[in-house]
């Protein structure tokens, strides 16, 4: 008897679609599958968590100016509440909890929330990714108020200002180069004296006179009450402290996809992101689909996540149809 069988003993209804995660991808999948009368259950995450909060990463941002349809911009949390309301309007059901275990060994698939188990003919995984943070006091509180993890999203707000980027990989250099379009100066703060980034990115960054490298420095303190007011840096060689008066801090030390829960079942790339069949949301298990940042280590935008959520919903719908449901 599998764990899913024992859950079935309790006469649990089998759902057509269970969606795990409620960022732009999961909620778009919910809108589409709800409108297709598949009554999706969305396991939306836990409000207390920074990695699994309902609404995903946009709940940690303020103004979103690049989501089409909002010429005056929209607040990230407001945008996500609108997505959610739209899904609810068509009958999507929500559980405000974190999925704690899955069993994809056979149909129906089982998804646990603590002791409770839900069964689904299809599962759409949209658990997203999280930007790694430095783990300093004030950092989380000032996200959206000077601290950011996304230059594409927030660079525009720093026109003519002096800002810092932390990290020494391709992401940090890409963000720094992009930010030179807006900022008057970009300090690249790196904890070593050698970059991890590819040579071509290094060459580009070294050639850009708006970027100044601060080698062997780590951010020791992020200062500010309402907004970021500056940084205290520590020299990793000498231990000396210095102040850096910047109005923006972009933390670009990597991302982590939220895929641990699926490690026993779904194929992952070496960097942990889920593998989907190109051009589809299909994973290696028929009936399990993935969309949004959990399978996208390249674009990572709300609008691309929403688009892939639509793909996952249509893939799930057609898969159910082919099975005669």
Sole binder of ligand NAP in the list 63, 170, 221, 229 (CB under 6 A)? 170
What six digits make up the tokens of 217?
A: 């420095």
Query: Of 145 and 256, which has the nearer Cβ to ligand NAP?
Result: 256
CA angle at residue 258 from 110 to 91, to 5 degrees? Answer: 55
Query: Of 121 and 268, which has the nearer Cβ to ligand NAP?
Result: 268
Query: From residue 101 to residue 140, what is the string marking binding to ligand NAP with x (rule CB under 6 A)?
Result: ---------------------------------x------
Query: Of 113 and 134, which has the nearer Cβ to ligand NAP?
Result: 134
The distance of closest approach from Cβ of residue 177 to ligand NAP in the complex, given in angstroms and rounded to an integer, is 10
Rounded to a whole number, what is the distance in angstroms from the first to the last CA of the chain?
25
Instruction: Please report which helix (H) or strand (E) contains residue 203, including its range.
Output: helix 199-207
> CB under 8 Å to 223, separation ≥6 — which residues?
138, 229, 230, 231, 232
Q: Is 254 in the site for ligand NAP (CB under 6 A)?
A: yes
Q: Is 150 a catalytic residue?
A: yes
Sole binder of ligand NAP in the list 35, 185, 191, 210 (CB under 6 A)? 191
What six digits make up the tokens of 82?
A: 């609108």
Q: Is 154 a catalytic residue?
A: yes
> Residue 126 and residue 56: Cα distance in Å, rounded?
10
Query: Of 81 and 134, which has the nearer Cβ to ligand NAP?
Result: 134
> Residue 94 and residue 80: Cα distance in Å, rounded?
14
Q: By Cβ distance, which residue is nearest to ligand NAP?
A: 169
The distance of closest approach from Cβ of residue 246 to ligand NAP in the complex, given in angstroms and rounded to an integer, is 16
> Residue 76 and residue 59: Cα distance in Å, rounded?
6
Q: Is 172 in the site for ligand NAP (CB under 6 A)?
A: yes
> Residue 251 and residue 309: Cα distance in Å, rounded?
27
The distance of closest approach from Cβ of residue 28 to ligand NAP in the complex, given in angstroms and rounded to an integer, is 25
How many of the other CB atoms lie within 10 Å of CB of 12?
Answer: 15
Active site residues: 150, 153-154
Chain contacts with ligand NAP (rule: CB under 6 A): 134, 166-172, 174, 191-192, 196, 218, 253-254
């Amino acid at each position: 008897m599998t764990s899913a069988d024992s859950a079935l003993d309790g006469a649990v209804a089998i759902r057509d679609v269970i969606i795990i995660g409620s960022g732009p991808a999961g909620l778009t999948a919910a809108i589409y599958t709800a409108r297709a009368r598949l009554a999706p259950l969305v396991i939306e995450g836990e409000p207390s968590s920074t990695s699994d909060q309902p609404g995903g990463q946009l709940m940690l941002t303020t103004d979103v100016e690049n989501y089409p349809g909002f010429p005056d911009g929209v607040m990230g949390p407001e945008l996500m509440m609108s997505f959610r309301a739209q899904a609810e309007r068509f009958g999507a059901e929500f559980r405000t909890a974190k999925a704690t275990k899955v069993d994809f060994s056979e149909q129906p698939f089982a998804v646990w929330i603590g002791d409770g188990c839900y069964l689904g003919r299809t599962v759409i995984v949209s658990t997203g990714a999280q930007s790694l943070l430095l783990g300093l006091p004030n950092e989380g509180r000032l996200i959206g108020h000077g601290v950011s993890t996304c230059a594409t999203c927030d660079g525009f707000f720093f026109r003519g200002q002096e800002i810092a980027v932390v990290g020494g990989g391709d992401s940090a250099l890409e963000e720094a180069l992009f930010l030179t379009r807006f900022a008057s100066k970009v300090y690249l703060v790196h904890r070593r004296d050698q970059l991890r980034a590819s040579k071509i990115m290094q060459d580009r960054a070294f050639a850009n006179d708006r970027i100044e490298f601060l080698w062997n420095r780590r951010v020791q303190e992020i200062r500010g009450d309402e907004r970021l007011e500056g940084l205290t840096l520590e020299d990793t060689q000498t231990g000396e402290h210095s102040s850096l008066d910047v109005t923006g801090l972009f933390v670009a030390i990597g991302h982590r996809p939220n895929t641990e829960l699926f490690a026993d079942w779904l194929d992952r790339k070496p960097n942990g992101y889920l593998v989907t069949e190109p051009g589809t949301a299909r994973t290696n298990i028929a009936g399990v689909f993935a969309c949004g940042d959990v399978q996208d280590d390249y674009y990572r935008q709300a609008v691309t996540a929403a688009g892939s959520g639509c793909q996952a919903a249509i893939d799930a719908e057609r898969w159910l149809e082919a099975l005669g449901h």
